[in-house]
């Protein structure tokens, strides 16, 4: 009978191996400098050259802007401010992932977008008298959680730590006086808004009206480029569309020129781009100087109800204050009264007192408007409709411009969530006379306000 197989799967070591194995020396991946640094007392280790701070839009709002300022070991702090600013986005502009993934896998998963990037930035500061800064939207990070937040916090806090570690490495490698600004929320700091630009001017003691705008510039990958053909090391390839136009729009808001990384670092020709909303399509019109009369709302009845129909940010409240309030209409608004039932109750009371009423709500669907038709029937008054045909992308722009500027926001409204616009779109039904309206007045959007208000409105806000 054959002997049983050994249960031990390892090879025995008493058999002769011919030829005898050659001993290989193992090379440690630990560098001499790393060993020396490990045994160096903390007090003798080189100082971290990047100082981190957090800032908020106001004193009563938690910080949302993360700022890391790098100062080289050899630096003259008494240098006069540089009036030319070279601003760059971070991800997919100065750096990219070393792993090839869309999003970095950790603090060390980065490399320069192109090998010549650090040399170009050093030359801008050292030879061309530019102040170099980095402006980045980082919506995936959270600096401070709302007290009512109940979800997991570990991953968000880890992202902040890894972002700092990555930026420390980038700035150490670059080794010029610079600052990285990271906007973590959708507030005044987030591009295309210019909150970070204002911080740059304050930090480097440059008055905004003294910046050399003609020679300053911004480089970023969000240029609104449409899909087409581009060039790479493999030749001509298909080029995907950009995820947004926020970098190009930021440069417009700051009043400086804009280039994509391919244009600035590689010298490629500009590709075609498109904006969902272009302020150039809405030039300022001085109503007082225009030969064309502005839209006029005519009061047809001694007492009636006027129902607005249109998305948030369509211009409904502005229309009321400009056209209906002077005619004696009283406003019923759910943002103020908090519920539809309360709106109906107040409207009935106003009608009973002899007032005409304007229903300043979205009234998106037939069922909602039918409630007001019923109120009009019971009060035996006509009901009219003003239909605001403002596209949603303009409404979102109007909402952001209003929320971020006191001069456009007399009611101190907060910026609305995206759901407010998508929710309206999902419920929206065009109004028709057969619903019971005396007439329907269609209202196309155009900016109505002063030149000063227009200059604020005609920036990019989303």
**Which tens digits make up the pLDDT trace of 158-217?**
999 999 999 999 999 999 999 999 999 999 999 999 999 999 999 999 998 999 999 999
The pLDDT score that the predictor gives to residue 9 is: 38
- Under the banding of pLDDT at 50, 70 and 90, the label for residue 230 is low
The pLDDT score that the predictor gives to residue 292 is: 61
The pLDDT score that the predictor gives to residue 90 is: 98
Entry pTM: 0.83
pLDDT: which is higher, 11 or 84: 84
Residue 37 has pLDDT above 60, yes or no: no
Which has the minimum average pLDDT: 147-151, 198-202, 421-425? 147-151
- Under the banding of pLDDT at 50, 70 and 90, the label for residue 293 is low
Residue 4 has pLDDT above 60, yes or no: no
**Which residues, in sequence order, are CB contacts of 135 under 8 Å at separation 6+?**
87, 88, 89, 181, 183, 191, 196, 197, 200, 218, 250
Decide if 439 contacts 305 (C-beta within 8 A).
no
Of 255, 239, 246, 256, which Cα lies nearest the Cα of 277?
246
Residue 11 has pLDDT above 70, yes or no: no
- Under the banding of pLDDT at 50, 70 and 90, the label for residue 300 is very high
Secondary structure class of 53 (helix, strand, coil)? strand
How many angstroms separate the Cα of 257 from the Cα of each of 198, 254, 275?
17, 9, 17
How many Cα atoms are found within 13 Å in the side-chain-facing hemisphere of 298?
A: 4
Secondary structure class of 231 (helix, strand, coil)? strand
Tokens of 372: 């007001």
Report the number of secondary-structure helices (H) and strands (E) in the chain. Answer: 13, 16
pLDDT: which is higher, 411 or 7: 411
Residue 12 has pLDDT above 90, yes or no: no
How many angstroms separate the Cα of 339 from the Cα of each of 329, 332, 343, 383, 396?
20, 11, 6, 21, 23
Alpha carbon distance 456, 420 (integer Å): 23
∠ Cα 336 342 347 (to 5°): 90
- Under the banding of pLDDT at 50, 70 and 90, the label for residue 77 is confident
Exposure b/e, 203-227, CB count within 10 A at least 16 = b = ebebeeeebebeebbbbbbbbbbee
Kindly provide the residue ranges of all beta strands, DSSP E only, lying in 224-377, ordered along the sequence: 228-232, 235-239, 257-259, 305-309, 330-332, 357-359
Per DSSP bridges, beta strands 50-55 and 65-70 are antiparallel
- Under the banding of pLDDT at 50, 70 and 90, the label for residue 278 is very high
pLDDT: which is higher, 235 or 346: 346
**Which residues, in sequence order, are CB contacts of 68 under 8 Å at separation 6+?**
50, 51, 52, 164, 167, 168, 171, 179, 180, 182
Which has the minimum average pLDDT: 23-27, 269-273, 361-365, 371-375? 23-27
Alpha carbon distance 362, 399 (integer Å): 14
Mean pLDDT of all residues belonging to the chain: 88
Tokens of 370: 């039918």
The pLDDT score that the predictor gives to residue 22 is: 46
How many angstroms separate the Cα of 220 from the Cα of each of 65, 113, 136, 347, 366?
19, 12, 9, 52, 45
- Under the banding of pLDDT at 50, 70 and 90, the label for residue 294 is low
Secondary structure class of 213 (helix, strand, coil)? coil
Q: Which residues pair with 442 in a beta bridge?
A: 387
Tokens of 313: 């940010």
Kind plus residue range of the DSSP H or E element containing 435: none
The pLDDT score that the predictor gives to residue 26 is: 42
């Amino acid at each position: 009978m054959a002997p049983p197989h050994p249960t031990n799967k390892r090879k025995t070591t008493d058999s002769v191996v011919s030829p005898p194995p050659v001993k290989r020396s193992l090379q440690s991946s630990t560098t001499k400098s790393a060993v020396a640094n490990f045994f160096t007392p903390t007090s003798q280790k080189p100082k971290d050259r990047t100082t981190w701070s957090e800032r908020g839009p106001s004193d009563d709002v938690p910080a949302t802007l993360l700022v890391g300022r790098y100062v080289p070991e050899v630096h003259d702090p008494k240098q006069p401010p540089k009036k030319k600013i070279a601003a760059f986005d971070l991800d997919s502009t100065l750096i990219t992932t070393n792993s090839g993934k869309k999003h970095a896998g950790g603090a060390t998963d980065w490399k320069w977008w192109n090998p010549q990037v650090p040399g170009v930035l050093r030359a801008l500061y050292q030879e061309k008298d530019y102040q170099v800064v980095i402006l980045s939207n980082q919506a995936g990070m959270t600096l401070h959680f709302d007290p009512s937040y109940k979800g997991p916090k570990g991953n968000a806090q880890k992202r902040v730590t890894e972002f700092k570690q990555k930026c420390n490495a980038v700035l150490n490698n670059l080794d010029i006086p610079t600052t990285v600004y990271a906007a973590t929320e959708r507030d005044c700091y987030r591009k295309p808004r210019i909150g970070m630009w204002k911080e740059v001017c304050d930090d480097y003691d440059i008055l905004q009206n003294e910046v050399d705008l003609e020679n300053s510039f911004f480089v970023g990958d969000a240029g609104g480029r449409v899909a087409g053909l581009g060039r790479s090391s493999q030749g001509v390839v298909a080029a995907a569309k950009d995820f947004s136009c926020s970098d190009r729009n930021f440069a417009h808001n700051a009043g400086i020129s804009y280039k994509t990384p391919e244009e600035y670092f590689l010298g490629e020709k500009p590709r075609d781009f498109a904006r969902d909303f272009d302020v150039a399509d809405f030039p300022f019109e001085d109503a007082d100087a225009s030969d064309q009369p502005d839209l006029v709302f005519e009061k047809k009845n001694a007492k009636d109800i006027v129902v607005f129909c249109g998305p948030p940010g369509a211009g409904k409240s502005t229309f009321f204050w400009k056209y209906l309030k002077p005619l004696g209409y009283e406003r019923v608004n759910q943002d103020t009264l908090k519920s539809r039932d309360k709106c109906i109750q107040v409207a009935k009371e106003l009608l009973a007192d002899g007032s005409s009423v304007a229903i300043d709500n979205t009234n998106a669907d037939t069922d909602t408007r039918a409630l007001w038709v019923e109120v009009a029937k019971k009060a035996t008054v006509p009901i009219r409709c003003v239909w605001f045909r403002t596209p949603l992308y303009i409404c979102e722009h109007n909402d952001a411009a209003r929320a971020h500027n006191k001069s456009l926001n007399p009611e101190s409204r907060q910026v609305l969530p995206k759901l407010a616009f998508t929710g309206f779109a999902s419920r929206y039904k065009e109004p028709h006379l057969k619903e019971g309206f005396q007439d329907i007045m269609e209202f196309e959007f155009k900016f109505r306000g002063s030149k000063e208000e227009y200059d604020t409105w005609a920036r990019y806000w989303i």
